């Protein structure tokens, strides 16, 4: 979030971000007011405009920053060498851990896309597609080397991400499964899918699904 001249400093900015995340997570974008946000931080509402121009800019910046952090962390975590299976395992482990560690950011990134104005939404959708392409590249590599037997790697990408990202809806830190356990379970499921250990992964989809996949590209 770019500071505007006259702002009171980075600590206030960070406090605004933390409070805004909690309010968005609890109440949603439509119900959250800037008056609430200012009260949570302990500043005058007018002081918020030292950091952003309106509520839409605040939401967009939160989601864009989350996506930038996600990309940077993934790039640092991915293997540069190794088999496609090893790279896919690293991707799954990263994605699961990141989503468990940042439930508020992840939830808002998915649930509040509908609240973004068209130009802002276009930016975020492009960033999401770049993330999808990184997983798709691993699946393409595995199909080229014969490690994976996916009939359609684009559909495989979407299916894997939908399964993994759903963790933000049900995972609880005090639940029966640790992060390591969830990573291991999901890794096994994703590798089984990619390797074609089941008819659905090996066979080409029927015609209606083939047309749907083409529209998703």
d(CA 177, CA 183): 10
Q: Name the strand (E) or helix (H) holding 181.
A: helix 179-194
Q: What is the mean pLDDT of the chain?
A: 88
d(CA 60, CA 154): 27
160-191 pLDDT, tens digit per residue, is 999 999 898 888 888 899 999 999 999 999 99
**Domain ranges across the chain:** 1-53, 55-216
Inform me whether the pLDDT recorded for 6 exceeds 80.
no
Tokens 């595995």 — which residue?
142
Prediction pTM value: 0.82
* pLDDT band for position 198 (cuts 50, 70, 90): low
What homologous superfamily is domain 1-53 in, according to CATH? Homeodomain-like (1.10.10.60)
What's the pLDDT at 197? 83
The domain at 55-216 falls in which architecture? Orthogonal Bundle (1.10)
Burial class (CB in 10 A: 0-12, 13-18, 19+), 32: buried
């Amino acid at each position: 979030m770019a500071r505007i001249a006259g702002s009171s400093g980075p600590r206030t900015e960070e406090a605004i971000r933390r409070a805004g995340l909690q309010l968005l997570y609890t109440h949603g974008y439509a119900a959250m007011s800037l008056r609430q946000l200012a009260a949570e931080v302990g500043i005058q509402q007018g002081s918020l405009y030292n950091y952003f121009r309106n509520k839409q800019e605040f939401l967009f910046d939160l989601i864009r920053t989350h996506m930038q952090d996600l990309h940077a962390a993934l790039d640092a975590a991915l293997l540069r060498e190794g088999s496609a299976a090893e790279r896919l395992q690293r991707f799954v482990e990263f994605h699961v851990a990141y989503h468990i560690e940042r439930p508020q950011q992840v939830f808002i990134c998915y649930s509040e896309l509908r609240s973004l104005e068209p130009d802002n939404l276009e930016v975020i959708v492009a960033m999401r597609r770049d993330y999808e392409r990184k997983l798709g590249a691993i699946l393409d590599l595995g199909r080229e080397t014969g490690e994976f037997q996916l009939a359609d790697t684009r559909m495989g990408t979407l299916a894997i991400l939908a399964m993994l990202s759903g963790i933000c809806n049900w995972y609880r830190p005090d639940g029966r499964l640790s992060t390591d356990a969830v990573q291991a379970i999901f890794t096994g499921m994703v590798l089984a899918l990619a390797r074609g250990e089941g008819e659905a992964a090996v066979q080409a989809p029927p015609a209606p699904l083939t047309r749907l996949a083409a529209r998703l590209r």
